[in-house]
Amino acid sequence: MSGLDSPPPPAPESKAFAAIVVAAGKGVRAGTSRPKQFVVWRGKPVLRHSVEALANAGAHPVVVAIADGAQDEAAASLDGIVGVRFIIGGTTRQESVRNALESLSSDAPPNVLIHDAARPILPPAVIERLVNALHANPGAIPVLPVVDSLAVADNGMMTGSARRENLRRVQTPQAFRFADILAAHRAWAGEPDAGDDAQVARAAGLGIALVEGDEALHKLTFAEDFMEATAPSIRIGSGYDVHRLAEGEDLWLCGIQIPHDRGLAGHSDADVAIHALVDAILGALGDGDIGQHFPPSDPKWRGAPSSRFLTHAVTLAQQAGYRIGNADLTIICEAPKIGPHRDAMRASLAALCATGQSAISVKATTTERLGFTGRAEGIAAQAVVSLLLAR
């Protein structure tokens, strides 16, 4: 029987696997003061997230390729995780992976998963799919479909297009039978570096199966990806305001004019609902209150539409990297009736907050004729707002 007709080598019966995590890079595009793999993200160093996930999934050992001189920082990042080894990486990613593979060769595992430290969220289901795929294939990689149209570019101009149906987005970890991928790296004669280990495997003639990846495997690359290192992913604020009802004033609530025999008195248009909402946004940002941003002593705000205040607060949130998650507003009054105007109020606030109407709640209640609102002397409003990190 010729070599071409020979059956492929039997797949490893064991699901046992080792793992390699590549963490020797500098991460310069992230704009962080130290290599991004050691930056604290969601409460722990980036590197620790994926190493813990691999160890918890049964990887043993987990070999982490690091830069020379990073031993102390790497050890501190992974303190307490059993089965972790460190090796010094090379000048390229491919060299770092080969160094790690060589370190495993004396006690070779049947399979190995090779992962980039910059992908911290590693779902167990992806690991399971990869390991299972090695029963019938020498290699397997997680992929996602391409959903956008693609253009071929040259010197800033579109020169052609590509069929997205034939393309996939490639993620890590990438799984291989250990002997096959070690031989492939030893034989690598391509460019000085390889984009990933599947490229090295393909150059050696290995078949690579595609398994379903996960959007959670997003790679942390740019500064905005690390906002969660210094900012919480969600912030909550509350606001409260009161204005008295007076003859001869227009009544503005939630940015719309409401027919009524009296209106709210104040330095601006006295839209008590928007004022409460502005204070809630400023409170979530930790940026003072509406009186600090728009002092009633400043004549330029006399009679100003409160929509300007809300637009300003939303802009401050956007500049801090946040968007409106949702807003819950309660208007407290005996009159006018809020129900007939609720949908118009929600639409007005949604437009000012740059969000969908479903994210805006407007409710109304009375105080059973108790207090100043019960005596129809004024209107009060309270608001609660969530701000979410923009993506």
Same domain for 107 and 191: yes
What pLDDT is attached to residue 230? 59
Residues 116-144: tens digit of each pLDDT: 999 999 999 999 999 999 999 999 999 99
**Stated pTM of the model:** 0.62
3-state helix, strand, coil in the chain (%, to 5): 35, 25, 35
**Separation in Å, CA 121 to CA 201, 214, 227, 324, 382:** 25, 10, 16, 25, 38
Domain end, chosen from 198, 228, 258, is at 228
Same domain for 208 and 69: yes
Q: CA 349 to CA 346: how far, in whole Å?
A: 5
In this predicted structure, the answer to whether residue 88 has a pLDDT above a threshold of 70 is: yes
Residue 146 lies in a domain: yes
Q: 87 or 30: whose pLDDT is higher?
A: 87
Same domain for 236 and 371: yes
**CB neighbour class for 260 (10 Å; exposed up to 12, middle 13-18, buried from 19):** middle
Residues 321-361: tens digit of each pLDDT: 789 999 999 999 999 999 999 999 999 999 999 999 999 99
Domain end, chosen from 182, 213, 228, is at 228
Same domain for 205 and 141: yes
Domain end, chosen from 189, 204, 228, is at 228
Calculate mean pLDDT across residues 43-52.
Answer: 92
Structure tokens at 117: 């430290």
What pLDDT is attached to residue 222? 75
Give the residue among 366, 358, 329, 334 at the shortest CA–CA distance from 255: 329
Do you find a cis peptide bond into 61, omega within 30 degrees of 0?
Answer: yes
Lowest-confidence region among 13-17, 164-168, 204-208, 251-255: 13-17
Concatenated DSSP letters of 125-169: HHHHHHHHHTTT-SEEEEEEE--S-EEEEETTEEEEEE-GGG-EE
What pLDDT is attached to residue 8? 46
What pLDDT is attached to residue 168? 94
Let me know: does 283 contact 238? Beta carbons within 8 Å.
yes
Residue 374 lies in a domain: yes
Same domain for 186 and 45: yes
In this predicted structure, the answer to whether residue 211 has a pLDDT above a threshold of 70 is: yes
Same domain for 195 and 266: no
Do you find a cis peptide bond into 336, omega within 30 degrees of 0?
Answer: yes
Structure tokens at 143: 């992929």
What pLDDT is attached to residue 368? 94
In this predicted structure, the answer to whether residue 1 has a pLDDT above a threshold of 50 is: no
Structure tokens at 98: 């080969």
How many other CB atoms are there within 10 angstroms of residue 211's CB atom?
19
Calculate mean pLDDT across residues 306-326.
Answer: 91
Q: What is the domain-level CATH number for residue 266? A: 3.30.1330.50
Same domain for 357 and 289: yes
- 136 Cβ contact list (under 8 Å, min separation 6): 11, 209
Domain that residue 281 falls in: 231-389
